[in-house]
Amino acid sequence: MIKENFIKLYENSFRENWDLPCYTDYGENITYTYGQVAREIARLHLLFKHCSLRRGDKIAIIGKNNARWCIAYMATVTYGAIVVPILQDFNPNDVHHIVTHSESVFLFTSDTIWDNLEEEKMPTIRAVFSLTDFRCLHQRDGETVQRFLKYLDREVENAYPNGFNKEDVVYTDLSNDKVMLLNYTSGTTGFSKGVMLTGNNLAGNVTFGIRTELLRKGDKVLSFLPLAHAYGCAFDFLTATAVGTHVTLLGKIPSPKILMKAFEEIKPNLIITVPLVIEKIYKNVIQPLISKKGMKWALSIPLLDNQIYNQIRKKLVDALGGRFKEIIIGGAAMNPEVEEFFYRIKFPFTIGYGMTECAPLISYAPWNKFVITSSGKVLDIMEARIYKENPEDKLGEIQVRGENVMVGYYKNEEATKEVFTEDGWLCTGDLGTMDENNNLFIRGRSKTMILSSSGQNIFPEEIEAKLNNLPFILESLVIERHKKLVALVYADYEALDSLGLNNPENLKTIMDENLKNLNATVANYEKISKIQLYPTEFEKTPKRSIKRYLYNSIAEEG
């Protein structure tokens, strides 16, 4: 068990860093100090108390990264409630389902997201709050939330007659073995997996960040990965807040242009990112430079190449603010060409590995100890093994156990049982190898899950389930082709024949309409680029599931 109590880490941090800047919303000249954040948390705690919230009640949060998102999260866990962060990319049906499945009683949401939600589809919700100003957007009949908020200033004065000071920061005593977070890996009914993470799982990641000095007091970070994701949340937010780092929340889609401008202004001390961002920077900044005729020639001359690489590295470091000690890349596989080039120019990057079920970190190595093509070294608070059904296989499944491993999936004993071995190891579903120094090398995924280039989890079965409900589709298979999703579809030719619609023109019209309707119901990163008709039924296993591996080669075509 991690000896540092997760909640006490923040009680201490708010006291010790009282006057330091804590959260800033990028582009909006608003900064909260640690003391101001603590005051906002205290106000929410009074509200929770008024509503008789109990230990273990769930509070959901959905919206873009901003200071109030962080405050709502902190207020929830330090009160002793369980936080349920939801990706803002999820469509309304998925949000309704997660809120209901988790039995969340409060919801903090962006106003724009709230416009598309329906309160009657979330029967457990007692009140909804805006992430713009914490006003109450909706309360269930009989609730007195709006009236309480009207007189909240008076309540604060009564509770803290001498003003709210650092000595007043006293949070709930809750042992690290209690569940504090439910992280949903997907939204749709039937596929929901609410990962139950304890204070110990979260503290394992945060104390690792503190111990290795990833971030320190007074450092700056730019948070641009969604905080509802375990990866960005653990380091840009939780570790940062535990040590007194100043977090600037981007709150916009991180296009290279927006990011480069923000990096230049903020000059972060650590950059947490996914491959897509770095690959785009490589494509836009580096490739044009090294493809010039004269440059190609110069790079082939031994002494000149080092000088040029030094210049390129300096240009790249400056473009990213010039002050970071390293860039940590995770969430998806890195393009090998980009990785090899960055390694050659001695750029300070490293690639880590994790999963939501480990809150998320499994392996990491600092950039100067990072072994190229690896995903870092297994953490000292974790263990990993390579499980092979056949000892002669080159690859095996990476299985892990240790402090960061979840306790299971919420209200889903079957899925929990499936993911753990009988002797207690978590099956990652990733295939790989491990060297004698505990460096992990990931070679592929045994699961069907597709990782989008920006690190989002895509579950093809979910999209297929929706596709198969559309007109004239008997079955479908979603595959990845050139980093885009393509749906192979076996059409209901019998039904088409009976209506006299079985000709190429009509088929195209029907499938175009199906594509449009499907894409209106899925998250942006789950959108299908095209529907490709498949001439026969797909081959099945005895259990009647499609033999997916037979169709991977189709993804390479076209």
CA distance 188 to 170: 39
Residues 111, 230, 336: CA angle, nearest 5 degrees: 115
Vertex 534 angle, CA 530 and 538, to 5°: 120
Say yes or no: domain 459-556 is CATH 3.30.300.30: yes
Tell me how far apart the alpha carbons of residues 468 and 191 are, in angstroms, rounded to a whole number. Answer: 16
Tokens of 244: 């007194």
Q: Which residue has the tokens 């100003």?
A: 133
User: Which residue would you say has higher pLDDT here, 554 or 440?
Assistant: 440
Fold for the domain defined by 6-257:
Rossmann fold (3.40.50)
User: Residue 3: is its pLDDT beyond 70?
Assistant: yes
Cβ-Cβ contacts under 8 Å for 292 (sequence gap 6 or more): none
What is the pLDDT averaged over residues 456-485?
Answer: 86
Residues 139-171 have pLDDT tens digits of 999 999 999 999 999 999 999 999 999 999 999
CA distance 78 to 63: 20
Q: Is-same-fold flag (6-257; 271-323+326-445)?
A: yes
Query: In the prediction, which pLDDT does 553 show?
Result: 66
pTM (two decimals): 0.85
CA distance 151 to 34: 24
User: Which of 328, 326, 299, 330 minimizes the C-alpha distance to 312?
Assistant: 299
**Does pLDDT of 543 surpass 70?**
no
Residue 475, classed as helix, strand or coil, is strand
What residue ranges do the domains of the chain occupy?
A: 6-257, 271-323+326-445, 459-556
Tokens 């690489």, located at residue: 309
Percent over 70 (pLDDT), the chain: 96
Q: What is the pLDDT of residues 317-363, one digit of tens each?
A: 998 999 999 999 998 778 788 899 999 999 999 999 999 999 999 99
Question: Which residues, 6 or more positions from 154, have their beta carbon under 8 angstroms from its beta carbon?
Answer: none
| Of 263, 208, 198, the residue nearest 239 (C-alpha) | 208
Query: What's the topology of domain 271-323+326-445?
Result: Rossmann fold (3.40.50)
